[in-house]
Amino acid sequence: MAQAMKIAIVDDEQDMRQSISQWLALSGYDTETFARAEDALKVLGPEYPGIVISDIKMPGMDGMQFLKKLMGTDSALPVIMITGHGDVPMAVEAMRLGAFDFLEKPFNPDRMSELAKRAANARRLTLDNRALRKELSDGTQIMNKLIGSSPVMERLKEDILDLGQADGHVLIEGETGTGKTLVAHALHAAGGRAGKKFVLVSCAALEEEALSKRLFGPMMPEDSQIPAMEEARGGTLVLEDIETLSEALQAKLQNAMNEQGTPAETRIIAISNIQEAGKTCEDVLRSDLFYRLAALRITVPPLRQRGEDILTLFTRLTEQFSEEYGCDAPKVSAQEAAQLLQAPWPGNVRQLINIAERAVLQARRGSGTIASLLMSDHEEMQPVMTTEGKPLKEYVEAFERMLIDNTMRRHKGSIAAVMEELCLPRRTLNEKMAKYGLQRSEYL
């Protein structure tokens, strides 16, 4: 459940402060009151998780001076001004200075609640976008989320770094659950648009009329958003499930892209999630739009092709879930490691996340096996069969690497502790760590 937005209420009249606070608290807001603007300024800053409601006429620093201070600190902080009868010209001036809206006394409490709701929605969107831009400004952080060192993942990372520096539109393809949206984030973070607007729209989540409005407008005065094409100007617009666009919206998108010129002011990353066998994005999009969007292409590999990455991901995920649920991570046997590597993983990483969480929950209860979880997901799957036809030696080596990696992580790089737990002499441990590319410094 999302945390309730805060509302700072600033008014020198105690009765007014209390009545506004009580009414908004009933609407689910976390309110705090201040008798003086000077006191409110001590807690209001760019990261304030809420909005402000302030009277205009107050002793000391009045509402207009207060508003100017707030706009200088954070111009996107929604401030609703309360005016007395006859002060409408002053309220209009407040709007010019950046106020979100104003209420004239005596005001309808329902009107105040509606304004507060709109302002809170706008604030939440602003804070979410800032958090995303902050995360995306560090390309290394995003790349670190692309866990794995298999050849296909190394190639994917190289493609992201190469195409991130380019400025053309990109088409991302791949099976469901492979992490295509994460790749879109990484592409944005790896290029010159990092830190600029990153706007994501799911084409499958909205009806045609609503999607047209979200992408191209027009927006109504009460809408808290601007059209995505305008919102993403100068940055990146990601269109998930691009294949679901109707013919009419495909034409609109093509026209909008033509109007941008070359190079495009806004980079578009299209994500295709076609599930029908034998069909591609090229089959469902008009050809002129397809070739514009597919100027650059990336295919995200399915989990079953990522080999030992499966065990690395499973280990990281079970560690995260065990910490969340306050229990020990389940230990994986050699047979279970082979079963994880052999599974067909039709749901890819998303399915692996679900299996890892369920493995932690059943280990906490002291029952169940990883094989049973895999079988419940694929009743037709035979655990002893491999989908890739790999020799036993590869499964043994993958399990051995995972075991050493887990033990080194648990003992924070203590060679002596790892030698004792695994009953290995130092020379053998050193040789195996070198063989599997494990560095002690990574665990300290």
Q: Select from 373, 356, 268, 357 the least CA-distant residue to 311.
A: 356
Q: At what angle do helices 88-97 and 63-73 cross, to 10 degrees?
A: 10
Percentage of the chain with pLDDT > 90?
A: 41
pLDDT at 405: 83
- 248: pLDDT strictly greater than 60: yes
As a whole number of angstroms, the distance between CA 58 and CA 286 comes to 61
- 31: pLDDT strictly greater than 50: yes
Per-residue pLDDT tens for 319-378? 889 988 888 888 888 888 888 888 889 899 999 999 999 999 988 888 777 877 877 665
pLDDT at 439: 86
Q: Which residue has the higher pLDDT, 411 or 300?
A: 300
- 379: pLDDT strictly greater than 60: no
**Contact status, residue 368 vs residue 362, Cβ threshold 8 Å:** yes
pLDDT at 390: 56
Label residue 172 by pLDDT band (50, 70, 90). very high
As a whole number of angstroms, the distance between CA 354 and CA 411 comes to 27
Per-residue pLDDT tens for 150-164? 999 999 999 998 898
End-to-end CA distance of the chain: 36
For the chain, the three-class secondary structure string (H helix, E strand, C coil) is: CCCCCEEEEECCCHHHHHHHHHHHHHCCCEEEEECCHHHHHCCCCCCCCEEEEEECCCCCCCHHHHHHHHHHHCCCCCEEEEECCCCHHHHHHHHHHCCCEEEECCCCHHHHHHHHHHHHHHHHHHHHHHHHHHHHCCHHHHHHCCCCCCHHHHHHHHHHHHHHHCCCCEEEECCCCCCHHHHHHHHHHCCCCCCCCEEEEECCCCCHHHHHHHHHCCCCCCCCCCCHHHHCCCCEEEEECHHHCCHHHHHHHHHHHHHHCCCCCCEEEEECCCCCCCCCHHHHCCHHHHHHHCCEEEECCCHHHCCCHHHHHHHHHHHHHHHHHCCCCCCCCHHHHHHHHHCCCCCHHHHHHHHHHHHHHHHHHCCCCHHHHHHHHCCCCCCCCCCCCCCHHHHHHHHHHHHHHHHHHHCCCCHHHHHHHHCCCHHHHHHHHHHCCCCHHHCC
Residue 317 token pair: 């995920």
- 128: pLDDT strictly greater than 80: no
Across the chain, mean pLDDT equals: 85
Contacts of 114 (CB under 8 A, 6+ apart): none
pLDDT at 137: 52
pLDDT at 276: 65
Per-residue pLDDT tens for 200-243? 999 998 899 999 999 998 877 666 678 999 999 989 999 999 99
